[in-house]
Amino acid sequence: MDIGVRTNRNFNRKPVLYRKDKMNNDPLYSRLREAAWRRKLTPGETAQLEEWLAGHPEAERDWETELALSGSLERLGDVPVASNFTARVVSRAQRHSQQAGSPERDWAGLWRRFMPRFAVVAVGAIAVLVGYGRYESSQRAKIARGVATVSEVGTIPSAEALRDFDTVRVLAEARNDERVAPDNELLALNLR
């Protein structure tokens, strides 16, 4: 079993040990290995393991490493736990649940979570309002220019001047269009 060191794809940038060989995914081997972690194997399990290892000699070194590691951990012994360990855990859990449910903490969390979103919406709303205000003022300016233009015209022509407006318009169009010759009879009638 080769052990290598890898530092890429590790968020805290500390070296990580990994195994270069493939780990065995056989369910029988995995079950026996987990049983060996918890207790001594029974004679039946030992016979199964020996039979399996005879068929897979490459895993024997891995099994020996597992046994050595399990033995080392057993020799370490259990760590003594304080007599008030349970009471301390329960009181800390109660404090944590009280702090997590406090209204001040809930409002602060909501404020931190929704403030950036609210800021984006507020900037968008202000941009829309300013744009709408400019549009309205430009429309008012157009209307003011139109009113100023109409007021500069002076008086409206009399009805007598507008009576023959259609005839004059047709003549102006005919003059612009070279294909249509002026109608002399119509001109004679209008001049009388």
What pLDDT tens digit does each residue of the chain (192 aa) get? 445 545 455 455 555 555 555 556 778 888 888 888 888 888 998 898 888 888 888 888 888 888 888 888 888 877 888 888 889 889 988 887 776 555 555 677 777 888 889 999 999 999 999 999 999 999 999 999 988 887 776 666 667 766 777 777 776 676 666 656 667 777 777 766
CB 59 within 8 A of CB 53: yes
List phi, psi (to 5°) of 37.
-65, -35
Whole-structure pTM value = 0.33
d(CA 20, CA 68): 20
Residue partners of 32: CB distance under 8 A and separation at least 6: 41, 45, 48, 49, 52
List phi, psi (to 5°) of 169.
-65, -45
| CA neighbor of 167 nearest in space, from 138, 134, 189, 135 | 189
Identify the three-state secondary structure at position 83.
Answer: coil
Q: Dmax of the chain from CA atoms? A: 138
Tokens (6 digits) for 136: 């309205």
pLDDT at 14: 56
Tokens (6 digits) for 36: 């060996």
